Structure 1
C-alpha cells in the first residue's frame, strides 16, 4: 500500500495510472532497504570524519555487500554485462535538462521537451534530479510532459512544429543554415533518456504503508518506465536511465534489484532497462568495476560529471586540514584529482566482461550558452570546442551539453572523426595501489583569492534563490559581471551551487591561505580566510543581488526566496559540522517564503544532524489523507 498526497491522483490520473500505482505498491518494500543503505552511508561518513579515515579500495577477496559477486572477479571482468543497443551505439552529444518549467501551463512547459528532441542531440537526458525544480508538483509535470512526447500526443506535436520553426530561425542567424529539414522525422532522431533522483532523496508526494516518505528513486523509476515502456519499445527505442549519486557497489546492487523487480513485474526480460551511471562520488571511483558488475546486464556506460565529483572529494576530506580546494575555475577536468578520476573511468569502461562487452564513456558537461557579445561568444565557443576535442582524444564516445543551442557547435568534433564510439579502445587495466588512491585526492597549485570567493558566493546565493523559484537549472554568473556581455552566463544546476558552498566551508574551517592581495578588502597575499571576511563578503555579494535588475534577480524573490538562500549559505558555511547535502536545506524550504519559518527548519535540520547524525529528507508539508 502507498499513500499519495490528497487530490494528486485526480490532478494527474495520466501519471498515477492504475498500472503505475500497482507497480509502486510492488516496489514499495524496497523503501526499507534503501533507507538502510542510506543510513550506512551516513555512518561511514561520520566514522571517516571522526577517525580521520580516507576512502580505500575494497578487499579483493571480499564479496560486494548485498550480492554474491566476488570483488576480484568484478575487477577481472568475470561478470555478464550488457551489449550496447543500436540506439546507444552513437551518442556523440547528449543534451541535458528538465522536461518541465515551473508554474507553467502544459503548452508552455512541454516546449522544453520539443527543444530537446529537435536539437539534433544524439540523446537527451531528461532530468528528474539536479536540474528539475521540485516546487509544487513539478516532478509530476515532468513525468506528464515526457509521456505526452513519447506517445506523440497531438498537443506535443503542435508545440513541436512551432518550436522547430524557432530553432531554424536561430540556426540560420547563428550557424548560417537550418538544422531541421523535416521536424516530424527529427523527433525520431534523439534517444530518450531519463535521470531518476538518487537513493539519498525522498519523493515529496508519496509515503509507504508505514508512513515513511518513499525513496524518490522508486517513484521516478516506476512512473517513467511503467508509463512509457510500451511506447518506447513500439518505436524501436531502448528504455534508458541515468543513475546519479551512487557511492558504492552495494548501492548499485540495490538499484539492480529494484530495476529487475520492476522488469519482472512488467513481464520484461532482465536487462531490458539500460542504465548509465554518473560517476559523481569519490567512493565510486574506488569501486568502478564492482559497480559495473553489480548492475550486470543493465549497465551500458559511465559519465564523468565535474561538479558533483568535486563536492564529493571535498566532503570526504572535510576532516583533512591539508586538503583545500582552490578557486573553482581552476578545477578543470585536467586538474590533479580530476585527471586521475577521469583516467580510472576510461580504463573501467574499456575492460571487457565475460562476453567481451565493453561499456561507453560519456564525457562531461559543457555549461556554456552562446548568448552574449560577439567576442564573448566567440571565445567561449572556442573553449567549448577545445574541451570537446580533448575529451574525444582522451577516449570519450561523446559528451554532454546543457543547452540545445550548443548541440551543433560541439557535435562536429565527433562528426569529423566519424566513429560511432570508442568502445574497447586500449588502456591499461585498473590497478588498486596506494598511489592510485592518493592520485584521486591530488591537489595542484592554483589561486585562492577574493575574486574566487566572490564568484563562489554570488553564484551560490543566486542558485539557492533560483531553486526556491522552481528553477534547479538556471543561467547564472557572478553579480560583478551583470551587464558585461563578454562574460557569458553558464547553465548551473544543483551540483554547481553545492560545490561553491562546500569550497567556502573548506576555506573557512581549514584556514585557507589567500594567494593574492585585494585592495577593496585590505587582504594581503598570505592572509587566512576568516569568519569576519566571509561575513563581509556575504553581505556585500547579497547587497549586489538586492540591487540587481529583474533580468538577473527577480524582484519578487528579493523579499522571499533570496533571504532564505542567504540564511542557508550563512548556516552551511559557518557551521562546524559540514552538512552532507546542500539540497537538503533547500528541499525542506520548498514552497516556503517565510524567513522565520526557514530559520526554524534550518535549525531543526542542523540540530538533527549534529545530535542524531541523521538527515531530514521528508517533505515537512506532507499531510496524509
Structure 2
C-alpha cells in the first residue's frame, strides 16, 4: 500500500505540541497512537520490527511527530524570507548564548576521544565489513545521503548494524567471495539517520486524532538503531552515537535533545549517554552554531563541516536572488572560496570555544586501483585538503575510501602528533561577520563542460539511486545525494538567472534537453537478455527534468523520486 505523504508539513499540524516537554495540547484523543508496517516483512525483518521496537517507534512519534512538522514549517518560512530579500543573520534573541563564555558541551565519550580519520559509507553488509576493517577511528554508518532509502536498504541496514555490533556479521557475494570482520580494533560507529524532511512510507503512524501519516525517516532510523543496540554498545565500551543531518536551527537541535533524553529514560540508561555530532550543512545553521551546541550541550560531541550540502543550501536559498548569487562550475567551488573559508573558520572557532570536536568534510576525489595516475592525483588532492583542515584546527576528517585513510591520517598526525585531538586550540584570530558567510562571489564563468558535467553526474547518480545505490563512484569522484543536489540546483539557477556559458551559449531548457539527450546516448545501457537487469536511465532523466527544468524548485530531489519509484517497488 502506498502512502502519499512525502515529508512536507500537512496543511495543519496533526497535534499542537509544547516547545520543550513533548506533551500535547490539542484535540481530545479518540484513538490510541499506532504504528503499522506497510512494507513486506522478509527474512529476519522480524528481528528488527519486533513488538517492543514498534512500541518504541510509536512512543517517539506520539511525542515528537507534531514538533517535527512545526520545524519543517519553520524551514519553509525561512526559505521564503531569504527569497524575498531577508538575509540570514546572527539572532539577537540568542546573543546571550553566544556571549556567555562559560558553558561547554559534554564532549567526547568512550571511543570518540580520537576522531582524526572517519570513514563514511552505507550500511549494506559488504560496506559495513569493509568499514569495520578499514583502520579508521570512526565509521559514519550512513542511512542518509549515502543510502538509497529502499525498504530493503532501511531494514537490512539495521540488520547489518545489529549483527556487526554483536560480532555476528559476515557476507558472501554472488560470486562466492566471503567478507568477514578481521580487524582486532574496529572503528567507533556513529550512525546517521535520515533528515527531518524525509518520510518512511513503508511505516504508517496513526496519531491520537486518527490522522494517518507516513512515519518520520529520522525517528525510524534513530529509533530502531537505538532500541536494539544502545545497551549492547555500552557493554562493548562504546555508546549510542549519532550524526544529525540537515539541521537548520537550534529549535531542531532542541527537538533532537528532547528525543535523546526521552529515549535514555525509556530504556533505562543514564541521561547524557547519547552523543551527537551535528552536520553544519545548511546556511541557516551556520548562523546558529553556538545555539545548536547549547541546545544539545548535554548530548553533544561536536560539529562537522558538511561541505556539499552546504553548497547546495547556498544555491537553494539564493537561487532567485539575482546574478551576484550565481556560482560557477561545481568544480570551482572549493573550500578556499570566501564563503566556504568563513564557514569552516567559524565552525572550528565555535567548537573549540565550547569544548566540542570540529570534524572536517569529505573531499570527493577517490582512488582507482586500476589506474595509477588517477590514484596519484586523488592522493595529492586529498592530502592537500586534509593538510588545510588539520592546519586550520579541525580535530578529524572524513574519507570515502579505505585507501585514503593513510593519506588523511598522515596530515593529521603531522599536526596532532600523539595528541588525540586539538580541541584546546582556540582560534581567537577568527572573527566572521554575516557578510562573509554570504560572500559567494568567485568571479569565474560557467563553462559548457561544467553544465554538461552537472547533467551527466545527476542523471548517472539518480540511475544508480533508483537501483538502490546511494554512494556511487562517477568519473573518479564519490557522488551521493548531496553532490547530485548541487548539480541539479545549479542547472535550475543558471536557467532562471539567464546565464550563458563562457562561449556565449544561453543556458535554457532547450539547451539542457539537448544535453540530456547527449548523456542518454553516451551511457552504457544494460541488456536485460544478459541477466544484468534493466537500467533506470530513462526514469533518472525524467526525475532530472522535474527537479531542474520545472518553473518551481523542489526543495529536495529525492522526495518525489522516493514516492514515485522506491515505495513498494522492490
Q: Secondary structure at the match of 1:590?
A: helix
Q: 1:76 aligns with which of 100, 104, 107?
A: 100
Structure 2 unaligned blocks of 5 or more? 1-33
Name structure 1 gaps, 5 residues minimum.
63-69, 101-109, 165-182, 353-357, 478-488, 518-523, 592-618
Matched with 1:145 is: 160
Q: Which residue of 2 aligns with 1:66?
A: none
Alpha-carbon deviation of 1:75?
A: 4.4
Give CA deviations for 1:593-618 in whole Å, capped at 9, x if unaligned.
xxxxxxxxxxxxxxxxxxxxxxxxxx
1:39 pairs with 2:61: no
Once the 2 structures are TM-superposed, how far is the Cα of residue 6 of structure 1 from its aligned partner?
5.7
CA shift in 2, pair 1:315/1:241, >3 Å: same
Aligned residues of 2:358 and 2:394 also touching (Cα < 8 A) = yes
**Shift in Å at residue 410 of structure 1?**
2.3
Asked whether the 8 Å contact 1:341–1:440 carries over to 2, the reply is no
* 1:179-578 mapped onto 2 (5 Å cutoff): 184=182, 186-209=183-206, 210-322=211-323, 323-352=325-354, 358-371=355-368, 372-417=370-415, 418=417, 419-428=419-428, 435-477=433-475, 489-515=476-502, 517=503, 524=504, 527-545=505-523, 547=524, 556-558=533-535, 561-578=536-553
Residue 192 of structure 1 aligns to a residue whose secondary structure is strand
**What SS does structure 2 have at the residue aligned with 1:400?**
strand
- Normalising by the residue count of structure 2, what TM-score does the alignment of the two structures yield? 0.86
Give the alignment partner of residue 117 of structure 2, picking from 65, 71, 93.
Answer: 93
Q: Is the 8 A contact 2:387 2:411 kept in 1?
A: yes
TM-aligned CA deviation for residue 42 of structure 1: 1.5
Distance 1:35 1:154, change over 3 A: closer
* Alpha-carbon distance in 2 for matches of 1:141, 1:470: 12
State the 1:187 CA deviation.
Answer: 4.5
Q: TM-score, normalised by structure 1?
A: 0.79
Paired residues, number: 522
Out of 67, 82, 86, which is 1:53 matched to?
86
Per-residue CA deviations over 1:129-172 (Å, capped at 9, x if unaligned) read: 1111222421000000100010112657999x9546xxxxxxxx
- Quote the offset at 1:319 in angstroms: 1.9
1: CA distance, partners of 2:549 / 2:173: 51
Deviation of 1:78 after TM superposition, in Å, equals 4.8
* Distance apart, 1:2 and its partner CA: 1.2
Distance 1:138 1:74, change over 3 A: same
Residues 85 and 427 of structure 1: is their aligned pair in 2 closer, same or farther, counting only changes over 3 Å? same
Distance change (3 Å), C-alpha of 1:118 and 1:507: same
Partner of 2:60: 27
Q: Does residue 126 of structure 1 match 2:126?
A: no
Distance in 1 between the 2:465 and 2:39 partners? 25
Contact (CA 8 Å) 2:143, 2:221: kept in 1 or not?
yes
Matched residue SS, 1:437: helix
Contact residue 282 and residue 309 of structure 1 kept, 8 A = yes
Q: 2:506 aligns to what SS in structure 1?
A: coil
* Residues 90, 434 of structure 2: 8 Å contact kept: no
Q: Following the alignment from structure 1 to structure 2, what is the Cα–Cα distance between the partners of residues 39 and 58? A: 19
Distance in 1 separating the partners of 2:388 and 2:414: 14
CA distance in 2, matches of 1:570, 1:158: 36
Shift of 1:22: 2.3
Offset, 1:286 = 0.5
**How far did 1:404 drift?**
2.1
